[in-house]
Structure 1
Amino acid sequence: MSVTRTKPLPATGSAELMAAIATGIRSVYQPIVRLADRRVVAYEALARGPAGSRLERPDLLFAAAREEGLETAVDWECWRAALRGGLQSTMGSDRALFVNVEPSSATSWVPEIGDPLLEDALDRFPLVVEVTERALPNHTTDLIPLAEDLRRRGARIALDDVGTDPRSLALMPFLRPDVIKLDLGLLHNSPSREIAEVVHAVNAEAERTGALILAEGIETEEHLRRALALGASYGQGWLFGRPEALPAHHEPTDAIFPLRHDATTVLPPESTPFEIVAAKRPLRRADKRLLVELSRSIERQTVAQSSSTVVMSTFQERRYFTAETAQRYSELAADAALVAAVGVGMDAEPAPGVRGLHIEADESLRGEWNVIVLGPHFGAAFVARDLGDDLPDRDRRFDFALTHDRDLVTEAARAMMRRLAA
């Protein structure tokens, strides 16, 4: 077993923070239980700074790290401390270990992921990497490659704090979490329409994908009853145990955390939205005059879907993303979880709040005109391919297809997200 440091420490930082990074970061572990019988099936590693110091509290530790530009270095040491503690315990394959990653560290994780601690941990016990829901809308294209790489290596993904940001509900199909962790506010606050919307979205995702639902912040028997009513089968909180050192000995158990064992990656192999939909839906043919109205009808359906919506469109070339289109998409972006526009020569932000992506002129996607809208309970896609007519713009003909099959729309949307996350 290797528990040695494999990455050099940063060269700058306050003496207090550097000392914490060098020797003082440690982990405590909170039990995760199966709610039906309260048997421990996993532990979540929670970071702590040097005992008795100002930085012992994790919020102060990470605040200092952000202020000094060392958040990634601190996150790495927290991650290593969590894995070292698990590897030095008697934990085995019958209990999972949950570890957290800060969104700001996501881009540095993928090239550094070969750390032997990770390989040792994956050989010993199921490893679940948590990303917070709060980070998903603003770090989607960083977190998805990280999740895909970790899943290929054998880890599983948990989406933490679900219920704090409604925009993330539409992004769950892209991260495809194995575990959905309900934020403690869903248990502690009075029932509301917002809570009901989260519960419906989470349970729909779990039903579609087999993800496990885990409730956080269970401190009382009433919280436990609420967690069960919201659909959780697993939970953690002071009712079951406070964060502390791992037990010196773990008795073997048959209450194994039932993580998915499929090898499905977060994103599908490279295909275009048109290729995906056309393989399962009949194609029709029309000129651009009709198709403009069909595509705008799909866009308008976004307005009725609240903020939990993703809109991704391709325009062939930047010149087709007109000033009128830019205005429409900027208005959509004000409320949606993600709005993206793709085309040859597309700017990084072609309209306020819109994420742009330039593609090369020889890419197959360049010949497509697509509008994809995806929400927690809704999906619609218009996909079209230019026939290459040498005609005035409005007379150009396209083969096209429409679908409201949410699974098919999700597949097409994930193909688009692959390009955004590349």
Structure 2
Amino acid sequence: MAQLVVEPSHAGEAEALRAVLDGARVRSVFQPIVALESGLVVGHEALARGPEGPFARPDELFGAARRTGQLAALDEACRRSALRSAVALGLTAPTTVFVNVEPEVLADAPLEELVAEAERAPGGVRVVLEVTERSLAARPAELLAALRRVRGLGWGVALDDVGVEATSLAFMALLRPDVVKLDLSLVQNPPHGGTAEIMHAVNAYAERYGASVLAEGIETEEHLMTARALGATLGQGWFFGRPTDEPDHGASTGVLELTRTGRDRPERSVRSPFDALPEGTTLRRATKGLLLELTYHLEREALRLGETCVVASTFQEARHLTPGTVRRYADLGRSAGFVCALGRDLPDEPAPGVRGASLSDDDPVLDEWDVVVISPHFATALLARDLGDDGPEMERTFEYALTYHRDTVVRAGEELVSRVAAVRPA
């Protein structure tokens, strides 16, 4: 991780903040999360506050951390405080505690530290970790691996700020959140052109996987009515209670049932997108010419889907990324939410707006031609394996399958996105 140099004008602020962190003076307050149907408190979100003085307000505290290069240290201190305070206040299972990870930290800090935090967490605390789509876009491989590990330790995952960026809808399928948190702007502002798109995407995901939908920013009866209309089953905001050091232990409580949407993977080992095809899938044979036409069609679908779409493709060798292909993928990079291309010797950005990944010689994906397109209401994958012909290029043959089964398509997409490394600092 690159070291941030603190400007002289911030040196005093840096020292003061370091003293706060070293002295464990960051504290946690808790805001209730309520089941809208029953009114029962099923969880609390832990929110950070600094000591009295210049760091008391969260915007001041986090602003100082950003200016002085101590955001990762503050972020970790906040989670330590949240878990420690939850135990002290009796907010243990079956109550659920929601804790945050700053997107900028996930975009830069070693994710091994996050996994280590989960391993060290005090027993009895039921945790849901909140992340945003910006974190996945910045570091796909590391974040997906880290989330798998913290889920294995019993933590749930929430996708935060849904509705702020269209790409959050694109990444829902890959992140597989147990809870989808609607941004407060959806509850507090009048409906707009994107509201219906967000509703359709979130409600389809919740219906498909049994995830919970949580509306933030509920402050009035009108906000509550809007939250219900949007499909929320959980609510949070001043209408139910402000953040406090001492949660109301007299409130009626219930249990938040997490469906563990990211933990229902089959035991069968999968090493590549082609491996993700279910056993017994009928395979066809075709020449490169037919696969090209199928690929062009999927690319056009992705252009139509726009920002809510993820595209992941393989090219075997860099030489297959022709000038015409680069132009097509530059169009996709401008239109889709996330686009990645993989192959031997591919650069980090093979086309403008496209994330690249160079595959090692022993990677089974080198033998495949894969095109995966995922959006809230569309999931298709062309998964093909090279049969090793030595003839003319356009007559090369492949065995392949076209699949529209969402779980298979998402699994194939994960196999590709999990090979894309973090964005390198400029």
RMSD of equivalent CA atoms: 2.4
Tell me the alpha carbon deviations over residues 295-345 of structure 1, each in whole angstroms, 9 at most, x when there is no partner: 111111111112100000011111111121111111101121111111111
Supply the distance in 1 between the matched residues of 2:74 and 2:42 (Cα, whole angstroms): 28
Q: How does 1:308-327 map to 2 (within 5 A)?
A: 308-327=308-327
Distance 1:232 1:157, change over 3 A: same
**Pairwise CA distance, 1:392:** 1.8
Supply the distance in 1 between the matched residues of 2:239 and 2:271 (Cα, whole angstroms): 48
Partner of 1:5: none
Farther-moved stretch of structure 1 (57-66 vs 216-225): 57-66
Partner of 1:119: 121
**Pairwise CA distance, 1:11:** 12
Supply the distance in 2 between the matched residues of 1:204 and 1:251 (Cα, whole angstroms): 36
Partner AA of 1:99 in structure 2: V
Partner AA of 2:374 in structure 1: L
**Residues 156 and 178, structure 1, Cα contact 8 Å, conserved in 2:** yes
Supply the distance in 1 between the matched residues of 2:18 and 2:75 (Cα, whole angstroms): 13
Supply the distance in 1 between the matched residues of 2:278 and 2:384 (Cα, whole angstroms): 9
Supply the distance in 2 between the matched residues of 1:306 and 1:418 (Cα, whole angstroms): 22
Distance 1:15 1:267, change over 3 A: farther
Supply the distance in 1 between the matched residues of 2:19 and 2:266 (Cα, whole angstroms): 40
**Residues 174 and 266, structure 1, Cα contact 8 Å, conserved in 2:** no
Identity fraction in percent: 44
**Pairwise CA distance, 1:263:** 7.5
Mapped pair 1:239 → 2:207 = no
**Residues 267 and 415, structure 1, Cα contact 8 Å, conserved in 2:** no
Partner of 2:98: 98
Partner of 1:400: 400
Q: How does 1:128-143 map to 2 (within 5 A)?
A: 128-143=128-143
Partner of 2:387: 387
Farther-moved stretch of structure 1 (30-39 vs 158-167): 30-39
Partner of 1:7: none
Mapped pair 1:26 → 2:50 = no
Distance 1:115 1:284, change over 3 A: closer
Partner AA of 1:320 in structure 2: H
Q: How does 1:198-209 map to 2 (within 5 A)?
A: 198-209=198-209
Number of aligned residue pairs: 409
**Pairwise CA distance, 1:133:** 4.0
Distance 1:96 1:112, change over 3 A: closer
Supply the distance in 1 between the matched residues of 2:215 and 2:130 (Cα, whole angstroms): 14
Supply the distance in 2 between the matched residues of 1:43 and 1:394 (Cα, whole angstroms): 59
Partner of 1:284: 284
Partner of 2:256: 257
In structure 2, list runs of 5 or more residues that go unmatched. Answer: none
Q: TM-score, normalised by structure 2?
A: 0.90
Supply the distance in 1 between the matched residues of 2:113 and 2:50 (Cα, whole angstroms): 26
**Pairwise CA distance, 1:151:** 0.4
Secondary structure of 1:242's aligned partner: coil
Partner of 2:185: 185
**Residues 80 and 117, structure 1, Cα contact 8 Å, conserved in 2:** no
Partner of 2:41: 40
**Residues 83 and 118, structure 1, Cα contact 8 Å, conserved in 2:** no
Supply the distance in 2 between the matched residues of 1:386 and 1:117 (Cα, whole angstroms): 42
Supply the distance in 2 between the matched residues of 1:198 and 1:163 (Cα, whole angstroms): 6
Farther-moved stretch of structure 1 (258-267 vs 41-50): 258-267
Secondary structure of 1:127's aligned partner: strand
Partner of 2:228: 228
Distance 1:354 1:261, change over 3 A: closer
Partner of 1:72: 72
